[in-house]
Chains A and B, each alone.
Chain A
Amino acid sequence: MSAGGSGAAAEAIPQNKIIAFGVLGGIIGIYAAYFLVDMVGQYMSFIGALGAICGIIWGAAAVRRVASYGLGTGVPSIGILALGMGILAATFGLSVGGVAGPIIALITAALFGLLIGVLANKILKMGIPIMEIAMTEIATAGTITIIGLAIAMTGTFDFAIVLKQVISTGYIAVIFIAGGLAILHPFNANLGPDEKQDRTLIVALEKGALAMVVAGIVASINEGASGSLTILIGLALWYIGFSGYYERVKRDAYVVVGSGQLPTKEELE
């Protein structure tokens, strides 16, 4: 049970596995997209978005864990914080790191997240036992999301190109909102006494797929990346996510009934 504010959330999949899934999936996705776009062709840029989805699912799982203690501010704030920290770390890592950029960005994000977690518990006295680790996870997941979606848009994480095609054009705002929503929305939509981990995470997949479709649309006007495959795979993943969510809603609900059509004016009289 994890109504906001009731303590630790029950988990069917242990968090360690999700962390491994998010970090490894994210890094593999980012680097595979980077190298395969060069070696195979532009259309491989969609792998970056798959990496971002791994990060999104991890981020949503971490938000779920920390927000179930009750933040007092609503869940969206933590998603915004994730992307706020992520955007600082990602821009820093990519601009100084070259090929090692994503790794530097992830390490920076982890340290920065840890700092925010320590500040929250030690100075603000929030008293959430997992705040430090959760903030570390959320910042890192946000960074993976931003870099992954940026690669899906441009086909590379070379900072000169990312700066020109993602940041200066303003698509970074799209990444910010689409990625932030994908991390904060799953728990926000599902929280309550009957919240279940798999139902929350499948929403993360669905929202991540939507972000992937948006990244694909942006990629279609950029030279280094190809959008059609990203959009198609994104739509397929969205369908899997949405139907999976609907199935779990039906599973968890006491009963699902149709309300029928609204009565017409004549019927009301």
Chain B
Amino acid sequence: MIDIAGILMSNMSYLILITLGGALISWSVHFVPVGGAPAAMAQATGIGTGTVQLAAGAGLTGLVTAGAMMQVTDNMALIIASGAVGAMIMISVTMMVGALVYTYGVGCPPASAKVKYDPITKDRQDLYVSQGTEGHGLPTVSFVSGVIGGALGGFGGAVIYYSLMSIENGLPLVDLVGIASVFAVGIFFVNSVIPSYNIGGTIEGFHDPKFKRFPKAVISSLIATFVCAILAVLSIGGL
């Protein structure tokens, strides 16, 4: 059997980093303007798909960019910045194409139903919300919020990936990359579903009243990710 206490003690810093990374991902999901099925029909503000799909799309891109950076440098700051930028680009492109489709395809102006004035541009919102909808499209504040969410999510994902790759083990690099990616993806998915239950599937961004609920999801994610981190450290450290 493997030396459980020894592995956990020698990797304590990575254990904590993974846990914090998971909590960051959980927080980041609250920034992303997720509209779910109603937004797909332009009846709610946000991108027309679920939290998990968006978080996974942006987060996995962050993992890929972090992994690519890891090939050329060991500098933790560069790797994490690369992950954050990758996720930001991915979520921005998604929101940009979504905004184009809502504006020129569906033909509705971007408008938020949760606030009367856009907190960033100070534009009036409520006049442009169609009757019977919860807003539509992606107003500026949602876009900015989404980019912040992408940055935090990519940051968290890259921290997790970096920590997993740094655990001492006897694996060849190609297998280590494989198992670290699998654990990073697993942790990412768990931490994107927990906040999506917290916000009930839809949120417009940091100006949405639901945003105030984030401490509950972050606490849940801290606990859940800590368990994930123990599993991951024991598996990788024991090989």
Count: A-B pairs, CB below 8 Å = 127
Q: Point out which of A72, A78, A88 has the most chain B C-beta atoms below 10 A from its C-beta.
A: A88
Q: Residues of B contacting A78 with CB < 8 Å? A: 193
Q: Is A136 an interface residue (CB 8 A)?
A: no
A168 pairs with B178, CB closer than 8 A: yes
Q: Is B186 an interface residue (CB 8 A)?
A: yes
A96 pairs with B56, CB closer than 8 A: no
Q: Is A189 an interface residue (CB 8 A)?
A: no
Q: Is A181 an interface residue (CB 8 A)?
A: no
A84 pairs with B238, CB closer than 8 A: no
Interface size counted on chain A using CB atoms at 8 A: 38
A84 pairs with B50, CB closer than 8 A: no
B216 pairs with A123, CB closer than 8 A: yes
Q: Residues of A contacting B50 with CB < 8 Å? A: 73-74, 76-77
Q: Is A253 an interface residue (CB 8 A)?
A: no
Q: Residues of B contacting A95 with CB < 8 Å? A: 179, 235-236, 238-239
Interface size counted on chain B using CB atoms at 8 A: 46
Q: Residues of A contacting B52 with CB < 8 Å? A: 73, 76-77, 80-81
Q: Given A88-B231, A124-B217 in contact, is the A73-B194 Cβ separation under 8 Å? A: no
Q: Given A83-B189, A96-B2, A168-B175 in contact, is the A124-B53 Cβ separation under 8 Å? A: no
A74 pairs with B36, CB closer than 8 A: yes
A80 pairs with B56, CB closer than 8 A: yes
B193 pairs with A84, CB closer than 8 A: yes
CB distance from B86 to the nearest CB of A (A): 18
A73 pairs with B186, CB closer than 8 A: no
Q: Is A126 an interface residue (CB 8 A)?
A: yes
Q: Is A91 an interface residue (CB 8 A)?
A: yes
- SS class, residues of chain A in contact with chain B: helix
A123 pairs with B231, CB closer than 8 A: no
Give the nearest-CB partner of A83 in chain B: B189
A74 pairs with B37, CB closer than 8 A: yes
Q: Is B201 an interface residue (CB 8 A)?
A: yes
Give the nearest-CB partner of B219 in chain A: A123
B235 pairs with A96, CB closer than 8 A: yes
B178 pairs with A92, CB closer than 8 A: no
Q: Residues of A contacting B179 with CB < 8 Å? A: 91, 95, 163, 167-168
**A208–B183 Cα gap in the complex (Å)?**
24
A96 pairs with B238, CB closer than 8 A: yes
A167 pairs with B178, CB closer than 8 A: yes
Q: Given A95-B239, A115-B223, A119-B224 in contact, is the A71-B187 Cβ separation under 8 Å? A: no
CB distance from B24 to the nearest CB of A (A): 17
A124 pairs with B174, CB closer than 8 A: no
Of A81, A96, A112, A120, the residue contacting B189 (CB under 8 A) is A81
Q: Is B190 an interface residue (CB 8 A)?
A: yes
**A62–B37 Cα gap in the complex (Å)?**
23
CB distance from A22 to the nearest CB of B (A): 21
CB distance from B48 to the nearest CB of A (A): 12
Q: Given A89-B231, A95-B239, A123-B220 in contact, is the A77-B182 Cβ separation under 8 Å? A: no
Give the nearest-CB partner of A95 in chain B: B235
Of B193, B200, B235, the residue contacting A81 (CB under 8 A) is B193
Q: Is B234 an interface residue (CB 8 A)?
A: yes
Cβ proximity bits A52-90 to B, threshold 8 Å, 1 near / 0 not: 000000000000000000011110111011011101110
**A164–B179 Cα gap in the complex (Å)?**
10
Q: Is A116 an interface residue (CB 8 A)?
A: yes
Give the contacts of B205-224 with A (CB-CB under 8 A).
216-217, 219-220, 223-224
CB distance from B213 to the nearest CB of A (A): 9
Cβ proximity bits A170-183 to B, threshold 8 Å, 1 near / 0 not: 10100010000000
**A169–B201 Cα gap in the complex (Å)?**
34
Of B1, B186, B196, B223, the residue contacting A77 (CB under 8 A) is B196
Give the contacts of B130-177 with A (CB-CB under 8 A).
171, 174-175, 177
CB distance from A184 to the nearest CB of B (A): 10
B186 pairs with A126, CB closer than 8 A: no
B182 pairs with A172, CB closer than 8 A: yes
Give the nearest-CB partner of B171 in chain A: A163
Give the contacts of A99-113 with B (CB-CB under 8 A).
108, 112
Binding site for A on B (CB under 8 A): 1-2, 36-37, 50-53, 56, 171, 174-175, 177-179, 182-183, 185-190, 192-194, 196-198, 200-201, 216-217, 219-220, 223-224, 227-228, 231-232, 234-236, 238-239
Binding site for B on A (CB under 8 A): 71-74, 76-78, 80-81, 83-85, 87-89, 91-92, 95-96, 108, 112, 115-116, 119-120, 123-126, 159, 163-164, 167-170, 172, 176
